[in-house]
Structure 1
């Protein structure tokens, strides 16, 4: 796979490559084309090299004798960011790095699949970055992001839209969903809005007054 380097400014979303299940080459290529900055977590670097992807930043705690300088020679120029904090995941550290660089948005791949604990943590941790970083997690079947208090987007009829609360979310009201909500609450583990869908071609509107609500655009 060729280098992503079409030079753009830091207003474009960065791309973070984690170490979960791989995505298709088509999705990878689309994201690389529009990403001015590619951040690779240390656990994924060998997989990235096998695909001939050019990384800009290698980030992680570099434990277990990890030789970061070895990869600088293979990926020059490469910024190496050592993040030894064990109270955060490497993906959270990558988010923090982008915030420090004042990059407003990030697409994340290879963050789902493989281990269920990593998948759940990666998806729900989006909530803590509300108003600091716009995060989208993608794989071949889903696109996941945190909703603002009011969300509007055009969908075709039948588009699968799942609303997944992080904790409890209240005051949810929707328009143009097959299973509408009217000032209702969702709570993870008890009631979620999984596998809803757009009722008709047109704008879907979702409002909520309290809590963190994930939207998952899904397809089989």
Structure 2
């Protein structure tokens, strides 16, 4: 059973679309809705579009109104509201495109939203450079040999140990104001990461060499 969700946000549009048949649910925010139409996305594949719809025309309403979920709460971001809808539908595994690029405060806001859901949902972001996601205290990356790996404390991670990285860590502490673990790379197909306290956002990029 697939049980995966594909969610488009209103950041930098993806250059290509993933295999849609891999997903049980496909959704977008109303900002992403506009670029999906521009780039020829098969709009009939969308299960829902969430937002306040301030920028939509009447023709949009007629063509897609059955897919609209109106979420006018200005105290929450469109990403947050979309995640709440997805969680209410019983899904937990979510791939997110369009979270980065454009205005960087939106990117940081998207990370903060993902952090707030990290204990309930498995959220993976994808962009043109990497995939990135929060990891539990004991985690293994597979099929990553020679790929760029960055460990970013959010905001701290204590007693971090790794295996399979070119520059290994052994019981070290990371913090955004002290030491971060970016721009490393894997020297094995499997990279293990363990830490005792805090949180880590891991980035898996393209091959280093």
Structure 2 CA distance for aligned equivalents of residues 108 and 44 of structure 1: 12
Q: Could you tell me whether the CA contact under 8 Å between 1:146 and 1:212 is conserved in 2? A: yes
Task: Indicate conservation of the 8 Å contact 1:38/1:57, yes or no.
Answer: yes
* 1:197-216 matches, cutoff 5 A: 197-199=185-187, 201-216=188-203
Query: Deviations for 1:86-141, whole angstroms, at most 9, x for unmatched residues?
Result: 22110111111111111011111111111111112212432211221110110121
Equivalent-residue separation in structure 1 for 2:144 and 2:32 (angstroms): 36
Please state if 1:13 is matched with 2:4: yes
Q: 1:176 aligns with which of 159, 164, 174?
A: 164
Of residues 52, 62, 70 in structure 2, which corresponds to 1:73? 62
Count of residues paired in the alignment: 204
Unaligned 5+ segments in structure 1 are 1-8
Q: Distance in 1 between matches of 2:176 and 2:198?
A: 11
Which ranges in structure 2 are unaligned for 5 or more consecutive residues?
none
In the TM superposition, what is the alpha-carbon distance from 1:37 to its structure 2 partner? 1.4
CA-based RMSD of the aligned residues comes to 2.0
Is 2:183 aligned against 1:195? yes
Report the secondary structure of 1:219's partner residue.
strand
Q: How do 1:1-220 residues align onto structure 2 when only pairs under 5 Å count?
A: 11-25=2-16, 28-30=17-19, 32-50=20-38, 51-54=40-43, 55-63=46-54, 66=56, 70-75=59-64, 78-199=66-187, 201-219=188-206
Q: Is the 8 A contact 2:13 2:35 kept in 1?
A: no
User: Segments of 4+ in structure 1 off by > 4 A?
Assistant: none
User: Quick check: 1:123–1:137 contact (8 Å CA) kept in 2?
Assistant: no
Task: Tell me the TM-score normalised to structure 1 length.
Answer: 0.84
